[in-house]
Amino acid sequence: MLAPDTRLTPASRSDDTPVQELVASNGYSRNQRDERDVREYLAPLFRHKWLVLTVVLVATAAAAVYAFSLPSIYESSAVLQMDPKEFAYMEDNRGMVLRSYNDYDDQNTQIHLLSNPHLLRQVVLQLDLEHRPGFLSNRNDTSILSSIKRIFSRKRGSARATEVAPARSVETNVNELSQERMRELEPYVAAIAAALRVQPVEHTNLVTVGIMDADPQLATQIVDTLTKTFVTNTTSYQNRGSQQAAETLSRQIGEIQVNIKQAEDARLNYLKSHNLPLEKGDGRNITTDRLAKLSSQLLDAENDRKQIEATYEAAKETKDPSAVPSARSSAEIQDLRKNIHQLEQKRTSLLETYTREWPEVKKVEAEIRELQNTIAKSSTDAVATLSSQLDAAIKRETKLRDAYYKERASANNQTQDEIALSNLNQQIDINRQVYNTLYQRLTEMQVNSLDKSVRVGIVTPAVVPSAPVGPARGSKIIVTFLISLMAGVGLAFLIEQFDNTLKSAEDVANHVSLPTLALIPATALNGNGGFKGKFLRRVRAEENHTSALALSTDLRSPTAEAYRHLLASLLFTAPGRSPRTILVTSGSPLEGKTTISVNTAVTFAQTGAKVLLIDCDLRRPRVHRNLGLENGAGLTTYLSGRKDIDSLIKTHELYPNMKVITAGPMPANPADFLTSTEMRILLKVVGDRFDHVVIDSPPAISFADASIIASLVDGVVIVAHGDRSSRRLVRRVKQRLEAVGANIYGVVLNQVDLRAHDYLYEYYNAYEED
């Protein structure tokens, strides 16, 4: 029998530090905990290291096979010199001027012409690449079998590739190829274009032309043919283009001259036939001058007629003709009015002496009436004169208006003629502008044609390369290695993100909000001989259903140390008072709750405390098997009516302080047994007799048994498998137990891979090797 371990008994503490913080710290300093946090972040890589290594090895090996299957690539190059046009003469209004060309645009044009499909077709035809063995087959055959063959036949293939195909009679004029024939040559043109490299040399007029191919001889032939054909075509194009352009311009200039002469003759004939002035200027257009004068005279006549008409209308409307302005302004009428006024004064003086019957008075009145009649007659004559004047003014206005309209019609016809004449003049001006432009361009070409220097030439001809330039096998393998490494690491973290199991105390705290009482190591870390040499032996032991006691019999084993942590956590859950009745349950079967129950009871017994282990799993009891005890009578025997508890309590030979009540015969209705009064009485009696009572129950999710017992005990311990228990399942267990008012002490993570917790693994491994 082992001596009691007094280190694990409750003791008073001077501070208020929670026990979980004490357990979680494990005695490490802050720097050590920071290092531990870094290791925890890298824990997914350690857990899935074989997956990462597999991805990296497979991808890198495949990249290596592919890279070494690629044939060696040779590059042959030549250097061309492309001198730009330095100057050109052209004529403007000030005479001949110098015009510079854009060197950059000119060189870019030549560089693009080097990869022109028309030029590449000429190369294909001249080298007869259609009938050259292996020209396209090596490029198109990318199967895995062909790649493997190339690995072992690279040298022979290279020797074979240097053979030059015999010359054949092929088409020489690429301009006469049909569309069908060009489609046949397209694969060969595309192959050359893909291998062609045209690179200008910075700050010079030199251009490097290179071809990469598995056959160095063929690469040299293609570059040589390409550059020579390009130089020939460029020189021929310049000469032929200049000559054709000059001929075309001369012909167009002659046609424009004829058009200008014909337009001038048509313009002169039009002027003569329409009586238009040959020259423009003052006094040369009689119709326009006459129309202006008639317009002025017509306006004056309209004004005179309107004035006479207004005076006449006023005279017609007045009752006193003498009031007409023309009559009032007449000198004769004014003299008559004066005479009448004198006679009226004379009559007035006579009437002062005589009566109206006096002969002298009558004589004076007769004279006054005679003068008044004379005035009336003169006034009537003045009105008649106004009527005659109005008629004359109307006739004059009508005559001038007729003349104006006639002249205006003639002016309109002349205007239309002038518009048509303007169109003729515009056409002549356009022809003259075109003539000047074409003549200027012809002069420019004639001046430029004096420079017969060669602008494009081969500076460095192509030579057969002696060493390959590719492929970059090493860089391909390194890049693949890095990409596969990142993919493997990403896949490991992705799997970790989708893994919803509880693997660490941090997972329990973050996802279940419960403390972690202990981490029970996986089986591979248990037993004697260390981690490296005991894995197979432990697997065989589990396959043979080894007793749960084997996990804690060795006090120096990692598992025994883990159970002592569990014991310490349970003792400090309620400061000042040790838990009496403890229920051990889980969310689902096969999570190790029975093993935890047995070893928890053993660990309590090792401290010298009196412990009772009760198997309340009435559906699948396993305590008696792990302890090697008989199960003929047990808990169900007591709950069925047998009142003698002592007869049901069994003692294990290795641990006298640990008593056991097995499950007994399996009942048909376990829940009814557990909710009975006898069950409450049993827990009260054993709670008074023993220091600690550990109860093993069925899974809390599958059955209601655990919830029933949880309401009768001091606290509950939830067991979660470190590789199978999901977060959601443990949360449901917690919710179900809290619903019945259970006091949950925390979670015990069983079968934890301590390799993911380096700080524990190194500690246990070092402790085991001492």
pLDDT digits (tens, 9 = 90+) for 515-535: 989 888 876 434 333 433 343
Distance CA 388, CA 596 (A): 147
Q: One-letter amino acid identity for 561?
A: E
Domain containing 688: what range?
Answer: 16-47+500-769
- Same domain flag for 170 and 294: no
CA distance 52 to 46: 9
- Looking at the chain, the whole-number percentage of residues with pLDDT higher than 90 is 15
Does residue 278 form part of some domain?
A: no
- CB burial readout 707-735, b (16+ within 10 A) else e: bbbbbbbbbbbbbbbbbbbbbebbeebbe
Q: Which pair of structure tokens corresponds to residue 497?
A: 């993100």
- Contacts of residue 515, defined as CB under 8 A and 6 or more positions apart, other chains included, come to 20, 508, 509, 569, 745, 746, 747
- Looking at residues 220-249, what average pLDDT do you find? 81
What is the pairing mode between strands 658-661 and 650-651? antiparallel
| Res. 209: pLDDT tops 90 | yes
> Does pLDDT of 12 surpass 60?
no
Whole-angstrom Cα distance, residue 74 to residue 88?
43
Which pLDDT belongs to residue 268? 77
- For residues 566 and 568, give the distance between their C-alpha atoms in angstroms, rounded to a whole number: 5
Closest CA to 52 of 498, 486, 480: 486
Give CA angle at 327 (324, 333), nearest 5°.
140
Asked whether residue 308 carries a pLDDT value surpassing 90, the answer given is: no
How confident is the prediction for the chain on average, in pLDDT? Answer: 76
Q: In DSSP terms, which residues pair with 207 in a beta bridge?
A: 80, 200
pLDDT at 612 over 50: yes
Residues 224 and 122 both lie in one domain? yes
SS3 583: strand
| For range 135-145, the mean pLDDT | 59
Confidence of residue 79 (pLDDT cuts 50, 70, 90): very high
Same domain, 23 and 172: no
Q: What is the pLDDT of residues 642-697, one digit of tens each?
A: 778 888 899 888 888 899 999 988 888 888 888 888 889 899 999 899 999 999 99
Q: Is the pLDDT of residue 625 over 80?
A: yes
Q: What is the mean pLDDT of residues 276-304?
A: 69
Highest mean pLDDT among 252-266, 351-365, 544-558, 578-592 belongs to 578-592
Query: Is residue 444 one of the residues assigned to a domain?
Result: no
Regarding predicted confidence, which is higher, 328 or 253? 253
26 contacts 562 by C-beta, under 8 angstroms: no
Q: Kindly list the distances between the CA atom of residue 568 and the CA atoms of 8, 412, 689, 690, in Å, as whole numbers in the listed order.
A: 6, 124, 22, 18
Residue 708 and residue 753 share a domain: yes
pLDDT for 529 equals 38
| Residue at 259: amino acid letter | N
What average pLDDT does this structure show over 301-314? 77
- For residue 628, give both structure tokens: 């090697």
CA 735, distance to chain mean position in Å, is 46
Secondary structure letter of residue 704 according to DSSP: S
Q: What is the mean pLDDT of residues 45-61?
A: 88
Mean pLDDT of 114-133: 88
Helix (H, G, I), strand (E, B) or coil at 676: coil
Residue 481, number of CB atoms within 10 A of its CB:
16
Q: What is the CATH number of the domain that holds 661?
A: 3.40.50.300
Q: What is the pLDDT, as a whole number, of residue 62?
A: 92
Considering its fold, how many domains does the chain have in total? 4
Cα torsion at 756, 759, 760, 761 (round to 10°)? 60
Model confidence band, residue 252 (pLDDT cutoffs 50, 70, 90)? confident
Give the Cα separation of 94 and 406 in Å (integer).
51
Let me know whether 41 and 76 are in one domain: no
**Greater pLDDT, 711 or 401:** 711
pLDDT digit string, tens, across residues 426-472: 888 888 888 888 888 777 776 666 555 557 888 899 899 888 888 88
Tell me: do 37 and 109 sit in the same domain.
no
The proportion of the chain whose per-residue pLDDT surpasses 70, expressed as a percent, equals 72
CA distances 21 to 185, 515, 517, Å, are 80, 10, 11
Residue 270 pLDDT > 50, yes or no?
yes
H or E element at residue 80: strand 74-82
Confidence (pLDDT) at 704: 87
**Is residue 10 included in any domain, yes or no?**
no
* Structure letter (DSSP) for residue 134: T
Quote the CA–CA distance of 593 and 602 in Å, as a whole number. Answer: 14
496 versus 600: the higher-pLDDT residue is 600
Q: Is 556:564 a contact under the CB 8 Å cutoff?
A: no
Q: Is residue 114 part of a domain?
A: yes
In single-letter form, the type of residue at position 596 comes to I
Type of residue at 451: D
User: Between β-strands 516-521 and 95-99, what pairing exists: parallel, antiparallel or unpaired?
Assistant: unpaired
Q: Is the pLDDT of residue 764 over 70?
A: no
Please compute the mean of the pLDDT values over residues 260-287 and round it to a whole number: 68
Task: Write the pLDDT tens digit of every residue in 686-739.
Answer: 989 999 999 999 898 888 888 999 999 999 999 998 878 888 889 999 999 999
Domain shared by 557 and 456, yes or no: no
Q: Look at residue 279 and tell me if it is in a domain.
A: no
- Average pLDDT (486-492) is 90
Query: Same domain for 81 and 175?
Result: yes
The reply to whether 55 and 43 lie within a common domain is no
CA 558, 564, 569 angle in degrees (round to 5)?
Answer: 130
Is 676 contained in some domain? Answer: yes
Pairing of strands 196-200, 611-615: unpaired
- Mean per-residue pLDDT for 416-429? 77
Is pLDDT of 13 > 60? no
Asked, for residue 470, whether it belongs to a domain, the answer is no
Mean pLDDT value of segment 74-89: 77
Q: Nearest CA to 82 among 95, 59, 54, 101? A: 101
- Alpha-carbon distance of 500 to 723, in angstroms, equals 10
pLDDT at 21 over 50: no
Cis omega (within 30 of 0) for bond into 471: yes
| Closest C-alpha to 634, from 625, 622, 626, 645 | 645
CB 74 within 8 A of CB 64: no
> Residue 545 — very low, low, confident or very high, per pLDDT cuts 50/70/90?
very low
pLDDT greater at residue 144 or residue 512: 512
d(CA 66, CA 475): 13
Both tokens of residue 114? 């080097």
- How far apart are alpha carbons 318 and 91 in whole angstroms? 85
Predicted pLDDT at 543: 37
689 and 612 in one domain?
A: yes
Where do runs of H (alpha helix) occur along 83-215? Answer: 103-114, 117-127, 137-140, 144-152, 154-161, 179-195
Asked if residue 252 belongs to a domain, the reply is no
Contact 344, 350 (CB under 8 A): no
Q: Domain check: are 25 and 56 in the same one?
A: no
Instruction: Mark whether 190 and 128 lie in a shared domain.
Output: yes
Average pLDDT on 571-584 reads 81
